[in-house]
Structure 1
Amino acid sequence: MEGESSLSLLQLMAKEGLVPSPEEEERRKNVVEKLKKIIMAWVKKVAWQRRLPTKHIAETSATILTYGSYGLGVHGSDSDIDALCVGPVFATMAEDFFIVLHNMLKGREGLSEIHCVKDVKVPLMRFKLDGISIDLPYAQLKVLSVPEDVDILNPCFLSDIDETSWKSLSGIRVNKRIHQLVPNLENFQSLLRCIKFWATRRGVYGNLNGFLGGVHLAILTAFVCQCHPNASLSALVSNFFKTFALWPWPTPVELQDGAMPTTINPAETQFFMPIRLPCSPSEYCHSNITRCTFYKIRVEFLRGHKLTKDAGRPNFDWENIFEPFPYSKKYMRFIKIYVSAANQDDLGDWVGWVKSRFRFLLIKLEEVQSPCDPNPAEYVDVDVEEPNAVFYWGLLPGKTNFPDIESVKEAFWKVVSNGYQGSLGRLELSIVQVSQLPNYARLDNASRKGTKACWKIFDYNQQRIPIYSQHLPDYVVGYMTTNRDTKYPSAGG
């Protein structure tokens, strides 16, 4: 019976488009291989610029390692690819990655929408290659040549690397440890697809909004697979909800690797849902979970547990588990967050910055006794001419149904405007009744895909200052625009 129930769940996943077709898989593989060839050409060019001996230039190499949903094999048909560029000691991030490689990529056929994203914890380039979106950070190892199959868990490769490279490598290391620790990779992948689909439908997926991110869900899923190594898919889903509905938070969740259990540091259990990284038992997944988002996640775990107690029945209806969260039926009032900018390019930067500060807004609302449910869906008000993004957060019953939204906005604006290097856009906060919601916001979040921030495309007609290689004084590696609002160097050389 469990086999029939598992099969019906797999059929539902296929119907929802959660599994890419063989043609789409082949397309992604080709894109990764093409990117690897570009990286190899790039590293040899940099070696030449450094005036390395001819023998060393011939032997040097860099590589591409995939991680995230693609690296775990749980990506969908419209998922992007998280790929890490791993380079040798002589290839720097500032000059060689963000200028030389950017310059090589920019003019390539099939490559579009390339942007440099620097002012973040893990700097990266974002672009589309043959129509597939790619996020490409960089890690620099203290070696002269990076083998294609580099073992990123080997301490020899990780010694004495800089902090940014260490952070960039974290996703690769987590993925690799999960691959090593789960007893059945195929079951893990199917379960994780289901859980990500559930979290998206129920509005509890998205780290910026204070919910569970991809790495959190991957580790929780791997933990359940370890605890039930021989279970069917339907039993794994049931056990997932049972495990975390009854979990004694803030006891950390930690994958078992055969080593002695890690002792719990009381200071580190201040997180609502501590989840340890499998590649480093002393580190926890970064989390933005607050009191109100923790409450919703727990409620959804309990709901899932209640609905999946009989998941082994052959005629079990899986649709109920993935029913979209009914925001417009659940809440009478909403906090409307309206973000806009003068043009579409500025909007991407501005929205990304505002979203990165959402946790402060959540905590501020909790302080004034007006907790909320931050719907991760991002909407666009098509009736407004200026480029915009709109968010609607359900307002939970609190000590006051009408918080002093002006004081909340003032405090949030101070946080958002502090440190932003671009042109500040508009930010409006207001309270709206459910009857005032526009038609587009009455939709559930099932069909709303969270959008990543777009980043500026520069005007290459501006006056530009040439940037010369530090190692070949007469060699121009790119140009810096003279516009003071431009944060990143262009590479139009």
Structure 2
Amino acid sequence: MVVGSEHPRGLTPSPSPPVKYGVTRPISLARPTEADIQRNSELERFLMDSGLYESQEEAAKREKVLQRIGEIVKSWVKLLTRQRGYTDQMVEDANAIIMTFGSYRLGVHGPGADMDTLCIGPSYVNRVDFFVILHDILAELEEVTELQPVPDAHVPVMKFKFQGISIDLLYASVSLLLVPKDLDISHASVLYNVDEQTVRSLMGAGLLIKFLDLFQMLRCIKFWAKRRGVYSNVTGLLGGVNWALLVARLCQLYPNAIPSMLVSRFFRVYTQWRWPNPVMLCPIEEDELGFSIWDPRKDPRDRTHRMPIITPAYPCMNSSYNVSTSTLQVMIEQFQVGNRICEEIELSMANWCALFEPYLFFEAYKNYLQIDILAADADDLLAWKGWVESRLRQLTLKIERDTFAMLQCHPCPNEYSDTSKQGSHCAFFMGLQRKQGVRVEEGQQFDIRGTIDEFRQEVNMHMFWKPGMEIYVSHVRRRQIPSYVFPEGYTRPRPSRHIDQHAMKNGEDDGEGCTSGSGEKQIKRKDSETVLDRSGKRASVSPRRVEPVSPDEVAITLPGIGNEAKTTADEISSWRNIAQSLPTKLYCD
């Protein structure tokens, strides 16, 4: 019988079509139980106690800072309008608007968090004006400190602090002579006749406006990601937009769930997700404007993406293009840890604090790469550090390439500085381990000296390089990790009861009497450890500017020489000692 046709007992009503949220039907429409509501109250209490909510005073200060930045960019546009010969009326009407996006736009930012902001200006004010003229205006203001332009980033950005509040300022020049105060950037017409970098700048704000109501649990997941060391887009992990899209998709799959339910389902879903199947909130749209969209059927580069998380606003792109084989594995392992702990929470065998225990990065591996960054002064270090950090993802990719993905890297998202020494210095670290499940032949080694040398040569091609800017890449074992990475002094933390239970259950000793983190499944690395030459010393390939350096050479570069004697004798001696302590070879087996 045809559905809806006449039935002997009357008309058969047509069944209503299943409700779809996004690209699929929900996994579950279940509503919270009393136990879910109780766990939700406990979760809210934990987040409050963890200090994730800023004070009213700080919130008011942020609003005033935004208002002040808005005034500055309007004055900047009016200045350029007059200089370029427009009429007095055009100068009076000239406008630029400031919009927020990211965590601040969603209301899930914590105390001290960055503010992601977008400046939208008229067609005759371009990106060069932004990075030159506006930069110089900001540099003259007492309220502005740590001004750092990054014009060659995938999404060009100006980073600075305004009255102590960290700002990431993007710029988009739209095809309008006059920018209206109520400009709707979610409308595709805004993208007419703009370049790819402008599109990427506009997307961050546009896509979050579209899904503002779906991010009620984002604060919780972001806190977890930061505690577990997987919050960093620049190093190949996931950033704020990526986590927001993952959370939004989960809200579509469980539309009636409350945060405590969503947190446990989050780890359950993404532990089982079959990457590289993409996470999408809506079907990918095509438009006559002709911008390239994410399409692995047509674009070979899209087929190489490991963890596609697709933006919903046109033109749809992969927001997580930075993720590599190694960093994907790091995040999968953390999803598994989170899923295991959430299962215990639902069985009343653990509480929420177990889920958010910090990841003990310097306990997790036996071998690390240490990337020391030196500059003549603090201003040079700020610019140099930003450039090097933006290239760390390339180091991971090069190591994967040259070891056929047998050697995996875990970049630490934090930076460290030795405050006990004079001079401008900071350091980044990467954990190293052999890919799990790979058979190890006795005596097999990885020689990544050439890889490191290639990386530092590319880094030294920085267009704003100055004398004194140097980079050292060293191998350190766990016991050689410098003490300055432990702010309260190096004491191996005593595992909590929750960690002990997992360690006892899984036999998770790493052979040196420590565990690698909060409740995670430890992996004995007798066969899988990364061993750098048998002497156990530090290895380094240290760069000199322009002239190629042999991998067997240790370059002893004294920062600050020739820079008006800003570097003291103590600083020179300090960095000479560091350089002379570094042997010449770098092997991994």
Q: Normalising TM by the smaller chain, what interval?
A: 0.7 to 0.9
Flag the 1:49–1:365 CA change in 2: closer, same or farther, 3 A: closer
Flag the 1:49–1:195 CA change in 2: closer, same or farther, 3 A: same
Flag the 1:385–1:59 CA change in 2: closer, same or farther, 3 A: closer
> Whole-Å Cα distance in 2 between the matches of residues 123 and 101 of structure 1?
14
> Whole-Å Cα distance in 1 between the matches of residues 141 and 365 of structure 2?
49
- Matched with 2:479 is 435
- Quick one: which amino acid aligns to residue 433 of structure 1? R
Flag the 1:151–1:394 CA change in 2: closer, same or farther, 3 A: same
After TM superposition, the score normalised by the length of structure 1 is: 0.81
Indicate the SS of the match to 2:169.
strand
Q: Decide which moves more: 139-148 or 382-391.
A: 382-391
1:266-300, Cα deviation, whole Å (9 max, x unpaired): 44342111111111364211422222211111111
1:221-264, Cα deviation, whole Å (9 max, x unpaired): 1110111121111000011111110111111000037989x996
> Whole-Å Cα distance in 1 between the matches of residues 95 and 398 of structure 2?
49
Q: Does 1:19 align with 2:53?
A: yes
- Matched with 2:3 is none
- Matched with 1:485 is none
Q: Does 1:302 align with 2:349?
A: no
- Matched with 2:434 is 397
- Quick one: which amino acid aligns to residue 256 of structure 1? C
Percent identity among equivalent residues?
Answer: 35
How much does 1:310 deviate? 5.0
- Matched with 2:173 is 140
> Whole-Å Cα distance in 1 between the matches of residues 422 and 145 of structure 2?
26
- Matched with 1:473 is none
Larger radius of gyration: 2
The higher relative CO (CA closer than 8 Å, separation ≥ 6) is in 1
Q: How many residues align?
A: 438
Indicate the SS of the match to 2:410.
strand
How much does 1:86 deviate? 0.8
- Matched with 2:457 is 414
Is the contact between residue 285 and residue 314 of structure 2 (CA under 8 Å) also seen in structure 1? no
- Quick one: which amino acid aligns to residue 436 of structure 1? Q
Is the contact between residue 405 and residue 429 of structure 1 (CA under 8 Å) also seen in structure 2? no
Q: Decide which moves more: 102-111 or 224-233.
A: 102-111
Superposed CA RMSD in Å reads: 2.9
Q: Which of 134, 137, 153 in structure 1 is aligned with 2:186?
A: 153
Q: Decide which moves more: 436-445 or 222-231.
A: 436-445
> Whole-Å Cα distance in 1 between the matches of residues 148 and 452 of structure 2?
30
Is the contact between residue 252 and residue 269 of structure 1 (CA under 8 Å) also seen in structure 2? no
How much does 1:360 deviate? 2.4
- Quick one: which amino acid aligns to residue 140 of structure 1? S
- Matched with 1:388 is 425
Q: Decide which moves more: 310-319 or 78-87.
A: 310-319
> Whole-Å Cα distance in 1 between the matches of residues 417 and 483 of structure 2?
12
> Whole-Å Cα distance in 2 between the matches of residues 119 and 427 of structure 1?
20
- Matched with 1:38 is 72
> Whole-Å Cα distance in 2 between the matches of residues 338 and 402 of structure 1?
25
Indicate the SS of the match to 1:360.
helix
- Quick one: which amino acid aligns to residue 199 of structure 2? W
How much does 1:372 deviate? 2.6
1:294-352, Cα deviation, whole Å (9 max, x unpaired): 11111111111121125456895111111111233322222222221222222222222
Is the contact between residue 405 and residue 430 of structure 1 (CA under 8 Å) also seen in structure 2? no
Flag the 1:315–1:24 CA change in 2: closer, same or farther, 3 A: farther
Is the contact between residue 125 and residue 173 of structure 2 (CA under 8 Å) also seen in structure 1? yes
- Matched with 1:284 is 318
Flag the 1:330–1:75 CA change in 2: closer, same or farther, 3 A: same
Flag the 1:439–1:86 CA change in 2: closer, same or farther, 3 A: same
Flag the 1:110–1:379 CA change in 2: closer, same or farther, 3 A: closer
- Quick one: which amino acid aligns to residue 52 of structure 2? L
- Matched with 1:123 is 156
Is the contact between residue 285 and residue 315 of structure 2 (CA under 8 Å) also seen in structure 1? no
> Whole-Å Cα distance in 2 between the matches of residues 105 and 423 of structure 1?
22
> Whole-Å Cα distance in 2 between the matches of residues 164 and 225 of structure 1?
30
How much does 1:103 deviate? 4.8
- Matched with 1:317 is 351
- Matched with 1:426 is 470
Flag the 1:112–1:374 CA change in 2: closer, same or farther, 3 A: closer
> Whole-Å Cα distance in 2 between the matches of residues 384 and 278 of structure 1?
48
> Whole-Å Cα distance in 2 between the matches of residues 336 and 87 of structure 1?
42
- Matched with 1:376 is 413
How much does 1:422 deviate? 1.2
Is the contact between residue 370 and residue 401 of structure 1 (CA under 8 Å) also seen in structure 2? no
